[in-house]
Chains A and B, each alone.
Chain A
Amino acid sequence: MIRKRRTMILIKGSSDVPAKLAQEIQDSYEVKRIEESNNGLVMIKVREKAKQSLFYLGEVLITECKVMINGFLGIGIVQGHQPELAHNLAVIDAAYNASLAEINAWTKVLLIEENRINKDNQVFMKKILKTKVNFDTMNV
């Protein structure tokens, strides 16, 4: 599964999922800490629609962690102060970069979690759509 999709599932879904997957790797491989979880900033670049130009909206606090497994680097980046999650994300990223055998079984786990996220999303949207206006023109 591509990184863009899996990181979204791992961050939006239950934190139990990355914790479990990372533990699986840590139980079987040596995980070298390259950079402990630490805080930093990400600057947000936005394209506005009035003139189609780019500008910087502001920064977001993040937690970042770097680890290495079998000589392959992994990074965990997540919004806010979440050192444990950042570490787990880094371990999972390194596992994918090193193409470890464990990742084959993970696709199913991630798809189940994605399905759950999508269901929650549907519930959210259906609730929001209750506030959609149905215009009736008044006969004055």
Chain B
Amino acid sequence: MGYVAVKGGIQAIEESIKRLKYERLKKGTVLDSQQIEGGMRCLIDQVMSESSLYCETLTAMAIKQAEGSPEEAVFLLRAYRSTLPRKHYSRTVQSEEMLVERRISSSFKEIPGGQILGAAMDYTHRLIDFDLNKETDDEAIKWVCEYALESGVDNDQTNLSNLPKTLDYLREEGLISTCEINYDEPDDVTKESLHFPTSRSQRLQILTRGQTGAVTSLGYAALRSYGALHPTVGELRIGNLPIYVDSPFLEQNEDGDAYYIGEIKVTEVETLFPEEIQKGNGEKEIEFDIGYGICYGQNETKAIAMSILDRCLEAANPEYPIHNEEFVLLHIDSVESTGFISHLKLPHYVTFQSKLDSVRKTKK
């Protein structure tokens, strides 16, 4: 199939772009990016995760420009990201260093450090609050001040910046197998094109930057194909991770030489999958395998779905498409999938005309 360049329609395109601006502004209100950053937390988290670029302020601007379309905002951020130099790689981040603000387990009632609900929509009534229509800035500030003055707990000295991992607790109990620390440097899907079979680092990188809806749908499809086996969330934690960068001028960096550059909020999930293992003596035992999910911001559904897909791709099974890495990994990227679908609306005059000619010939 060949492509032919055509020209024309410049004036129409210019007017179309003006029309787009008119649609954004015609109600006479200009959205303040700061308001988007303040009030659209979940959308910002979703777009940052899918664009694989962490910056709340920039994301708010992209959402404003995209009129709230996540796919367009992700496209803008990916395009902007491609203009910037990658100056550094962070020191290895581990989620034990997280300052936790939410942490739950559906597997264990009692986990070391406790179940901490933090901010969650899970316990709300899901009834539209019509009072929000009348909410004012003054009322909001008053509420925040009153909340700040409320006292915290006095009798709980839990250190939220050093909470143990539930998986470690299970490993100590011998309920899940231990594994050696892997020091292999990760592959980077933004630097090298993907070849199959993929490495684990490539899979995790593609899954974490996947489109939320696509990751969730495929995770759901995987669950439905599991039958009687049902994964359980061993631990879901949300909080801020500190980011450190080594000094680029030192050959050997000591721990204290690092630059602290800020922190990022992430959602991290470890899901437990019961698996029947055939022992040497013919007896069967149940062991747990683990699926891992993580994404920028607070996006629990995506992180859980990612952990399911991680487990599915680790245990490749030709019977199910969700266990096929080519099927999953090549279809969940926002820019790739929306880009290819969208290209169908671009002019295909020549290719369509040739098909039309063929149809006319067969009709004669």
Which residues of A does B touch, CB under 8 Å? Answer: 2-5, 7-8, 11-12, 39-62, 64, 73, 75, 77-81, 121, 123, 125-133, 135
Least CB separation from A89: chain B residue: B259
Which residues of chain A are within 8 angstroms of B186 by Cβ–Cβ distance?
A: 45, 53-56
Q: Which residue of A lies closest to B249 (CB)?
A: A73
Question: Complex formed: what's the CA distance from A43 to B114 in Å?
Answer: 32
Q: Is the CB of A42 within 8 A of B257?
A: no
Contact A54 B184 (CB under 8 A): yes
- Option from A42, A45, A79, A126 in Cβ contact (under 8 Å) with B86: A42
* Residue in B88, B109, B202, B314 with the greatest tally of chain A CB atoms within 10 Å: B88
Give chain A nearest CB distance to B173 CB in angstroms: 15
Checking B87, B109, B249, B290 against A41 with a beta-carbon cut-off of 8 angstroms, the contacting residue is B87
- Decide if B17 is an interface residue (CB 8 Å cutoff): no
Contact B260 A57 (CB under 8 A): no
Which residues of chain B are near A48, meaning CB under 8 Å?
204, 292, 294
Pairwise interchain contact A42-B201, C-beta atoms closer than 8 A: no
CA–CA, A2 to B253, complex, Å?
A: 12
A59 near B153 with CB under 8 A, answer: no
Residue numbers in B under 8 Å from A132 (CB-CB): 114-117, 153, 156, 158
Are B185 and A54 in contact, with the CB atoms below 8 A? yes
Q: How far is the CA of A72 from the CA of B102 in the complex (A)?
A: 44
CB <8 Å contact, B116 and A131:
yes
Contact A43 B86 (CB under 8 A): yes
Q: Which of B89-97, B342-350, B356-364 contacts A (4 or more CB under 8 A)?
A: B89-97
Asked if B95 and A49 sit within 8 Å, CB to CB, the answer is yes
Roughly how many angstroms separate A135 CA and B209 CA in the complex, as a whole number?
Answer: 36
